């Protein structure tokens, strides 16, 4: 690799010394990590208008590190002949990722040592999907990085990106500044970590990092590599929500949706705010201003994960009645029947659905329980509506009438990814084998 390359040498040295996030390949024998922005049904819904069958799918994990996204994508794609390119600057990190794939018997990964900035010249694309999490904010010029990714993305492709969040990391930047002062002239990485540990143990509660410390799991979860990545990094920057939109749009693309349901919830005032005046003021704002306000109001967004597309129509639409709506992420058999019964018993009252991480309100409509009952993951919306008419014998329930009834419930489920769409022409995906949610680092 060219030593005059346009990445920062210090960044490479860091990840050679401290591969991140630290992973033990043997752990693959007893656990499977499920990383955000990588689940195929969601990629299909947000990035491919539901029309992707994933046969021969070609994904790039740019700055793949120790392999979380690579392993998870390769695992989901191998049965469909899909392939993953894992690209990283750090040979030490890539070695960990290779061993993880070897333990899992995954052979559909190509390993490339290099800088993502050189992608346009590498002859590797074009890709259907690019995952780039916790990487672009470490470049000297993040715009150049996103442009390089766009150059190798198909026009109907999608991206999953994670960048740091500005406000919630305020204390991190103050701690970084403090440690830069204390570590002046020190080149040994371990010595810098020792100084950081001593400092963290001594700072008073009034210190700004100490204030927000509980937002950051890196220090206790990942030890020295976590401390280095969070507090001693030679190069990182962070983004506010409006800056994210600008960053993506500068490259002629669109921020399609935030990736984590929890993020979408904290960006939506109605989920957490009851104070009527505040709620009204927030809801009167244009969407981006509302999201910008909620980022500051909530104060917890240490990172932003989001889907990006070059297209304006990449999200599957409920208006296309040839799409198949399906419930997603519910444990247990027959969730549609269980929820249909629950709705029927509610007799028009609002209900609260609970997930392991959060709960959210759903307002069942007049025909919701019928629609849910016929939503078996194979029927299109048109076929579900036909089944509802047959079951009720009510021919006044035309498609437009039922669509109007279905939409608010669909939107409430979809906001947290509990309902997604795929087009009838796209082969359904097998359910995910047992996976535990990824304990990904802060990036």
Ligand X SMILES: C[S@@+](CC[C@H](N)C(=O)[O-])C[C@H]1O[C@@H](n2cnc3c(N)ncnc32)[C@H](O)[C@@H]1O
Residues that bind ligand X (CB under 6 A): 7, 11, 15, 20-21, 63-65, 68, 87-90, 93, 115-117, 133-135, 138-139, 229, 440, 443
Please state the closest distance from residue 142 (CB atom) to ligand X, in A.
10
Q: Measured between alpha carbons, how far is 116 from 151 in angstroms, rounded to an integer? A: 11
**Which residue lies nearer to ligand X by CB, 11 or 409?**
11
- Cα 285 to Cα 163, 248, 269, 281: the distances in Å are 25, 22, 11, 7
Q: Is 16 exposed, middle or buried (0-12, 13-18, 19+ CB in 10 A)?
A: middle
CB of 117 to ligand X, least distance (A): 5
Of 109 and 139, the one with the shorter C-beta distance to ligand X is 139
Nearer residue to ligand X within complex by CB, 73 or 340: 73
Nearest distance from residue 64's CB to ligand X, in Å?
A: 6
| Residue 153 β-bridge partners | 127
- For residue 37, the minimal CB distance to ligand X (Å) is 10
Q: Based on CB atoms, which residue is closest to ligand X, 112 or 387? A: 112
CA dist., res. 52 & res. 44, Å (int): 6
Closest distance to ligand X from the beta carbon of 229 (Å): 6
CB of 279 to ligand X, least distance (A): 35
Q: Rounded CA gap, 416 and 359, in Å?
A: 10
Q: Is residue 420 within 8 Å of 411, Cβ to Cβ? A: no
Tokens 């969730």 correspond to 335
Question: At its nearest, how many Å lie between ligand X and the CB of residue 68?
Answer: 4
3-class DSSP state of 423: strand
Residue 395: C-alpha distances to residues 315, 321, 348, 405 (Å): 31, 18, 22, 15
In the complex with ligand X, the residue whose CB is nearer, 6 or 363, is 6
What gap in Å lies between CA 80 and CA 60, rounded to an integer?
16
Q: Which residue is nearest to ligand X (CB)?
A: 65
Nearer to ligand X, 140 or 191 (CB): 140
Identify the sign of the CA torsion 180, 182, 185, 189: negative
Ramachandran area for residue 353 (φ above 0: left; ψ -120 to 50: alpha; else beta): beta
3-state class percentages of the chain: helix first, strand second, coil last, to nearest 5 = 45, 15, 35
DSSP 18-43: S-SS---GGGGGT--EE-TT--HHHH
Kindly tell me which of 49 and 193 has the beta carbon lying closer to ligand X. 193
What's the longest Cα–Cα distance across the chain?
Answer: 81
Question: In angstroms, what is the minimal distance from the CB of 249 to ligand X?
Answer: 22
Question: Minimum Å distance from CB 223 to ligand X?
Answer: 15
Query: Min. distance of Cβ 342 from ligand X in angstroms?
Result: 37
| Nearer to ligand X among residue 234 and residue 268 (C-beta) | 234
Q: Which is nearer to ligand X, 249 or 439 (CB)?
A: 439
Report which secondary-structure segment, H or E, holds 326: strand 323-327
With CA atoms as reference, report the closest residue to 249 among 309, 189, 183, 181: 309
CA triple 273-409-342, angle to 5 deg: 95
Residue ranges of the alpha helices (H) in 104-141? 119-122
**Which lies closer to ligand X via its Cβ, residue 133 or residue 257?**
133
Nearest approach, Cβ of residue 35 and ligand X (Å): 7
- Angle between the N-to-C axes of helices 287-298 and 241-249, in degrees from 0 to 180, rounded to the nearest 10: 140
Nearer to ligand X, 133 or 146 (CB): 133
């Amino acid at each position: 690799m060219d030593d005059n390359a346009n990445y920062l040498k210090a960044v490479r040295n860091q990840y050679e010394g401290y591969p991140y996030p630290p992973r033990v390949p043997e752990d693959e024998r007893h656990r499977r990590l499920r990383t955000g922005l990588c689940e195929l049904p969601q990629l299909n819904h947000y990035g491919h208008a539901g029309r992707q069958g994933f046969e021969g799918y070609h994904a790039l994990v740019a700055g793949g590190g120790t392999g979380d996204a690579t392993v998870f994508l390769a695992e989901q794609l191998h049965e469909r002949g899909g392939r993953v390119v894992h690209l990283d600057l750090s040979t030490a990190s890539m070695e960990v990722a290779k061993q993880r794939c070897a333990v899992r018997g995954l052979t559909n990964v190509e390993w490339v040592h290099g800088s993502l900035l050189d992608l346009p010249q590498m002859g590797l694309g074009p890709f259907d999907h690019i995952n780039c999490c916790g990487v672009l904010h470490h470049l000297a010029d993040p715009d150049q990085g996103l442009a390089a990714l766009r150059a190798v993305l198909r026009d109907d492709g999608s991206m999953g990106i994670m960048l740091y969040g500005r406000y919630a990391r305020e204390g991190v930047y103050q701690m970084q500044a403090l440690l830069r002062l204390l570590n002046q002239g020190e080149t040994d990485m371990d010595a810098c970590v020792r100084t950081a540990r001593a400092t963290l143990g001594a700072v008073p509660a009034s210190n700004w990092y100490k204030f927000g410390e509980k937002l950051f799991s890196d220090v206790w979860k990942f030890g020295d590599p976590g401390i280095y990545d969070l507090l001693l990094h030679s190069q990182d920057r962070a983004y506010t929500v409006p800056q994210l939109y600008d960053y993506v749009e500068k490259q002629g693309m669109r921020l399609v949706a935030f990736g984590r349901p929890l993020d979408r919830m904290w960006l939506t005032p109605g989920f957490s705010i009851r104070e009527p005046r505040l709620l009204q003021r927030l809801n009167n704002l244009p969407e981006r201003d509302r999201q910008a306000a909620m980022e500051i109001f909530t104060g917890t967004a240490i990172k932003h994960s989001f889907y990006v597309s070059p297209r304006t129509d990449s999200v599957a639409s409920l208006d296309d009645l040839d799409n198949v709506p399906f419930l997603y992420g519910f444990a247990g058999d027959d969730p549609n029947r269980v929820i249909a019964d629950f709705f029927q018993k509610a007799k028009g009252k609002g209900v609260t659905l609970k997930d392991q991480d959060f709960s959210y309100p759903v307002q069942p409509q007049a025909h919701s329980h019928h629609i849910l009952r016929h939503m078996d993951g194979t029927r299109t919306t048109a076929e579900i509506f036909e089944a509802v008419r047959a079951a009720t014998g009510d021919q006044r329930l035309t498609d437009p009438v039922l669509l109007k009834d279905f939409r608010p419930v669909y939107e409430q489920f979809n906001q947290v990814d509990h309902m997604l769409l795929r087009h009838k022409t796209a082969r359904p995906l097998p359910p995910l084998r047992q996976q535990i949610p990824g304990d990904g680092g802060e990036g």
